[in-house]
Amino acid sequence: MPAASSLVAIVDDEESVRRALGRLLRSAGFDVQTFASGVEFIHSLARSSPQCLVLDLRMPHMTGFDVQGALLEAKANVPVVIITGDDSLESRELTLGRGARAYLRKPVDEAMLLDAIQNAIGPQPSPGF
């Protein structure tokens, strides 16, 4: 179970996907922020930094590739889990080569997504006594 402070950002241009993923992650105990575009997400980093980003690749204006590049350029330490309906070996190799922690095809298996997010965030410290 994630710590209450585990914030996961979801960036996907499809509202139904954002809603469904948001419900899933909230029910698993994560705090969630959703964004309809990569531009919205990049601007949000000035206010808060998520512990994980669930990122669609194929979006208008600023693709998931562009978002991942912007994070690398800014040296933002945000683990990325890629989700895509347009799977290709080239996309997989590029995103994983840029440090994505997981690459999942849509429709995303819920258990696999939750595992990928938890692995990206890493083990949560247990309360000390």
Q: What percent of the chain has pLDDT over 90?
A: 89
Q: What is the dihedral angle through the alpha carbons of 111, 116, 118, 119, rounded to the nearest 10 degrees? A: 140
Query: Can you tell me whether residue 57 is helix, strand or coil?
Result: coil
pLDDT of 129 > 50? The answer is no
Average pLDDT of 47-76?
96
Average pLDDT of 29-50?
96
Helix (H) or strand (E) holding 103: strand 102-105
Look up the pTM and report it: 0.92
pLDDT of 118 > 60? The answer is yes
Helix (H) or strand (E) holding 56: strand 52-56
Residue 82 tokens read as 């890629």
What are 66-115's pLDDT values in tens digits? 999 999 999 999 999 999 998 999 999 999 999 999 999 999 999 999 99
- C-alpha gyration radius of the chain: 14
Q: How many CA atoms lie within 13 A of 22 on its CB side?
A: 15
Residue 115 tokens read as 């595992």
User: Domains plus CATH for the chain?
Assistant: 7-121 (3.40.50.2300)
pLDDT at 34: 98
Q: Please report which residue ranges of 32-103 form alpha helices under DSSP H.
A: 38-44, 64-73, 89-97
Enter the DSSP assignment of 77.
Answer: -
d(CA 115, CA 1): 11
